A and B are shown apart, each in its own frame.
Chain A
Amino acid sequence: MKKLLALILALVMALSLVACGGGKTTEEKPAGDSGSSSSGSAEPTKMTLILRGGTYGDVIKACLPAFEAEHNVKCEVLDLSFDDLHSKIALNAPNPQGEYDLCMVDGSWMAEFTANNVLANLSEMGYSFDDDIIPATTDICMVGDDIYLAPYFGNVTVMLYNKQLIADAGYAPEDIDTFADLMDIAQKTNAAGKKGFLIRGGSGDNIVSDFIPHLLAYGGWVVDENNQPTVNTPEFKAAFENYIALYKLGDTMDKDDIVAAIDNGDAALGQGWPGWYVPTADSSANYTVIPTKLDDNDTPKNTSMYGVWTIGVCENSPNKELAVELLEYLMDPEVQLSTIDGGGVPCRYSCLLNEDVLAKYPHLETVCGALETGVYRPVIEEWAEFTNILGTEMDSVIQGVKSMDQGLADAQSALEALLA
């Protein structure tokens, strides 16, 4: 009896294993493989877009219905955080046929992704830049003459300020053109019982990214021409001392708190990105360009740092040609112009300097100026680890856990070991 029972159980298990494991044995070929030729078929082609969550991805989503109708496709969109977006694109890359068609890419991932064949060569697929795109924003998008990405969302560091508090300090936005002005406003605001200058805490990337404009103003950089670390230099120390002095007149917060504090008048100044906040004529906060000089006697430098969100096509996209068509559609000047009301910041002169647009969103002229002179983060594969190390050491100095000399010496040696 027991033998019979065991036999039955074994049979049931074998059957259930077969049933569970028995998927489709033939792969369905995506209908959209032949590009727009699918537009006549009854079943819409499914495309998957993997995007940065928030305004960056929302403006793309708003543009999709017209493309879907015209090409008979159905787009599924994944909105992800910065880290999740990077991980998912990377984890999908080694598969012969991937899950994603169009992806949003941060400039700092470019070296890693192109070195490992994650992105499709857009030049080979017939894509090229037009003259309307702000030239400096395309620097990160190319390897040699080959285009791998298109600059989509003009994220560049700008100075977020509270209109009333800077007026109380005796400044008009256009008067803030040196780092000495920032210090003066921060000191006056702090003396009045409010926070003068806010810096962003949290991850190493936040800390390093927000500090870089200060470093640029002091003529420093995080790596030399051979991509070796240069974080224990006189320029770095001077910039960092100034940054800490500003922090002591304010506070460290996360992104949402910085925006809220400046918007509700608790703080005067803080660095930000255009995607964080959409000012209008009657809003209490606005953006201005980050000062380019230390004081009136200094020579101007490029101090705005790019965080441009670019779009590209995954090398293993199941609908590669269709994805390139979607990319071209999203980069179309008219389509990009339509995204501005939703908070979009195209990297195009025709959009950012459009008279109607400027009448409604005057801060975009500032953003356009910053995009013309911005600086990209170093193109190194180890950038994520680089910012983890440098950010942690800088945070230790800011928090008083380590001295400036000790923190920067530790950072330098750890980064040298990383890039060795």
Chain B
Amino acid sequence: MKRTASLTTRTGAPHLGERAFPRLMIAPTLLVMAVLTAYPLIFTLVYSFTDYQYLKGTDASKFIWFKNYIDLFQNGYFRQAVLNTIKFTILAVVFEMVIGLLIAVFIHSLKRGQKVMRTLILLPYLLPAVTVALSWRMMLSSNYGIVNQILETFGLPVYNWFMDTKTAFGTVLLIDVWQNVPFVFLLLYASLQSVSEAQYEAARIDGAGVVQQFFYVTLPNIKNGLALCALLRTIDTFRLFEKVNILTGGGPAGTTSTITQFLYNYGIKSLKFGFGSAGAIVMTLLVLILSSFYIKRAIK
């Protein structure tokens, strides 16, 4: 009581020290965030208005204002990459969410063996993306890959998975979904743990079947987990790079080219960091727009 009195003024307003203390405590975090996030973002924004080429140095670069952005939107390969990325993100997130949710519900319903299944399902997610890409490249090799050999054994048609415009996009999508379903599963499985058994019992007493329990008990209870999961997967999928770079290089005929792959080919490889920065800013804005729905929901 005595201590409280010493930290407040006679009017009851917080004492200066009481106001300063929390600010002092969050200051290091703010500083770190400013250095690691705001600083690079601001510099990327500034560079995006210049013709900065890394080898020529900053001294030789000059402000060209919106030329990089105009060039970007006039570039047919960039527009194709944007469309591919949006299409890939929507399909991947939908598939990952649906499959991850179904697996989570299934594992959650198991009476025995939950721990073993949980561990096994998580394995693909633990592998680095590069390892995943190389393993799949070997398995799907049109020459010595096990997948084509199995298809041939059963008399089914074989494909040149990564070099054919009909299959390349779908194959990369399948690999990405395979690797990231466990992440969705893990988050949703954790959400399911928090759903009270009493709610299911009450639903059963009211005569609800399995499907009704899923839609009226399970889904409303894990909707926040679903929203968070969709947000994280959207942001992550939008940045897809390693798998595309290793497996297809953006080909065939640009059908798997993503924004990051485009920026790598036309901005990073040619060291045109001004142009690359403009692409990065556009990409950040697109991610923000796509994920704004989830962010708004999370803030609520």
Stretch at the interface among A155-163, A213-221, A252-260, A272-280: A252-260
A251 to B28, CA, bound (A): 58
Q: Does B215 contact A (CB under 8 A)?
A: no
Determine if A395 and B141 form an interchain contact, defined as CB atoms under 8 angstroms apart. Answer: no
Q: Kindly report which residue of chain B lies nearest to residue A392, judged by CB atoms.
A: B254
Determine if A388 and B252 form an interchain contact, defined as CB atoms under 8 angstroms apart. Answer: no
A114 to B21, CA, bound (A): 57
Determine if A392 and B270 form an interchain contact, defined as CB atoms under 8 angstroms apart. Answer: no
Determine if A83 and B269 form an interchain contact, defined as CB atoms under 8 angstroms apart. Answer: yes
Taking residues whose C-beta sits less than 8 angstroms from the other chain, chain A's interface range is: 35 or more
Q: Does B165 contact A (CB under 8 A)?
A: yes
Give chain A nearest CB distance to B75 CB in angstroms.
8
Give chain B nearest CB distance to A259 CB in angstroms.
9
Taking residues whose C-beta sits less than 8 angstroms from the other chain, chain B's interface range is: 20 to 34
Determine if A90 and B54 form an interchain contact, defined as CB atoms under 8 angstroms apart. Answer: yes
A10 to B31, CA, bound (A): 13
Interface string of A382-401 (1 = CB under 8 A from B): 10110011011001101111
Determine if B57 and A94 form an interchain contact, defined as CB atoms under 8 angstroms apart. Answer: yes
Residues of A within 8 A of B144 (CB): 257, 260
Determine if B55 and A399 form an interchain contact, defined as CB atoms under 8 angstroms apart. Answer: no
Determine if A118 and B55 form an interchain contact, defined as CB atoms under 8 angstroms apart. Answer: yes
- Cβ-defined partner of A392 (8 Å) among B21, B77, B141, B163: B77
- Cβ-defined partner of B251 (8 Å) among A201, A253, A410: A201
Q: Does A223 contact B (CB under 8 A)?
A: no
A85 to B183, CA, bound (A): 34
Residues of B within 8 A of A3 (CB): 17, 21
Which residues of chain A have a CB within 8 Å of any CB of chain B?
A: 2-3, 6, 9-10, 13, 83, 86-87, 90-91, 93-94, 112, 116, 118, 201-204, 251-254, 256-257, 260-261, 264, 266, 382, 384-385, 388-389, 391-392, 395-396, 398-402, 410, 414
Knowing that A2-B21, A116-B56, A264-B143 touch, tell me 4 more A-B residue pairs with CB under 8 angstroms: A6-B24, A118-B55, A201-B162, A385-B266
Which residues of chain B have a CB within 8 Å of any CB of chain A?
A: 17, 21, 24-25, 28, 54-57, 76-77, 141-144, 160, 162-165, 248-255, 265-266, 268-271
Could you pull out 20 A-B pairs where Cβ atoms are within 8 angstroms?
A: A9-B25, A10-B24, A83-B269, A86-B269, A87-B269, A90-B54, A93-B55, A251-B160, A257-B141, A257-B143, A385-B265, A388-B269, A389-B77, A392-B251, A395-B252, A395-B253, A399-B165, A399-B252, A400-B165, A414-B76
